[in-house]
Amino acid sequence: RILLLEGCFEASEYAIAAQLGLDLVVQSAAQAEALLSSELVRPLNVWLKLDSGMHRLGFDAASLRQWHAQLEDAEQVAELNLLSHFACADERGHPLTEQQVERFLDLLDLDFNHRSLANSAAVLTIPATHMDWLRPGIMLYGATPFAELSARELGLRPAMTLAARVIAVREVAAGESVGYGASWVAQRPSRIATVSCGYADGYPRHAPSGTPVLVEGQRAALAGRVSMDMLAVDITDLPEAEVDSPVELWGANLPLDEVAAACGTIGDELLNKVTAR
């Protein structure tokens, strides 16, 4: 089953969703009204979205009750389901999470076919939220949703490796710079590998010098700014590294979360920015 998490935004899209057999979130009065005005080849599985505290999308509890009454017997609706979205489940013990669970549970006197609340963090640590359908995200890639718990500690294994090759090796004298802006300056005679990956491939442009990289399975450090198609790595201490050496930017041997932390971001952002080329 494929669920459109933000729902439809054009009236014509409801008929297309029905033809394709998609599940559909309804998160506003405008969407609910458009659904009820639609002529469909078959009814849709509808997920009413509760705004339980994130305040991004969804109905408040009172409005959701009203729309449940209008939609439960509508000819456009096959299943009527309930979902919501956590704001702070990745921060264990955050008081808002408990409040969101309580607001969700308060609606379960209504008749729903299915209920869904748990994201990756809740799947791993809050069994009471598991309900009928789980919605794991980042954990499917073997990455952690928590800042203080590693993927390894959670028993997760990386499902994605971002890899490249060394395409050039240069000798750089002490005092010479590498890359755009001359932001990295050699503190000693250095060997610098140019690697065939850049921000157009999805590697973060804002990754700072020192971000870990594996060359020939050994740790090295990013040197200078990431370019569109290339990046530079200090391989001075890796004499075995040469042109065509394999490079792992994250994956089975270099945790995504470690790279994300070095870049001041989260693993989700890195995963979602990898391009197809």
Give the dihedral sign, CA 36/16/77/1. negative
Q: Which amino acid would we find at residue 121?
A: A
Question: What is the reported pLDDT for 99?
Answer: 98
Q: 212 - beta bridge partners?
A: 221
Total length of the chain: 277
Question: What is the reported pLDDT for 277?
Answer: 78
Each domain of the chain, given as residue ranges in start order, spans 3-136, 162-273
Identify whether the C-beta of residue 203 lies closer than 8 Å to the C-beta of residue 216: no
Identify whether the C-beta of residue 20 lies closer than 8 Å to the C-beta of residue 8: no
Identify whether the C-beta of residue 276 lies closer than 8 Å to the C-beta of residue 207: no
**Strand-strand pairing, 231-234 and 190-195:** antiparallel
Domain 162-273 matching CATH 2.40.37.10: the answer reads yes
Q: Which tokens is 75 given? A: 């000819």
Give the dihedral sign, CA 30/33/39/45. positive
Residue matched to tokens 């250095």:
190
CATH class of 3-136: alpha beta
Q: 95 - beta bridge partners?
A: none
pLDDT (tens place) for every residue of the chain, 277 residues total: 999 999 999 999 999 999 999 999 999 999 999 999 999 999 999 999 999 999 999 999 999 999 999 999 999 999 999 999 999 999 999 999 999 999 999 999 999 999 999 999 999 999 999 999 999 999 999 999 998 999 999 999 999 999 999 999 999 999 999 999 999 999 999 999 999 999 999 999 999 999 999 999 999 999 999 999 999 999 999 999 999 999 999 999 999 999 999 999 999 999 999 998 7
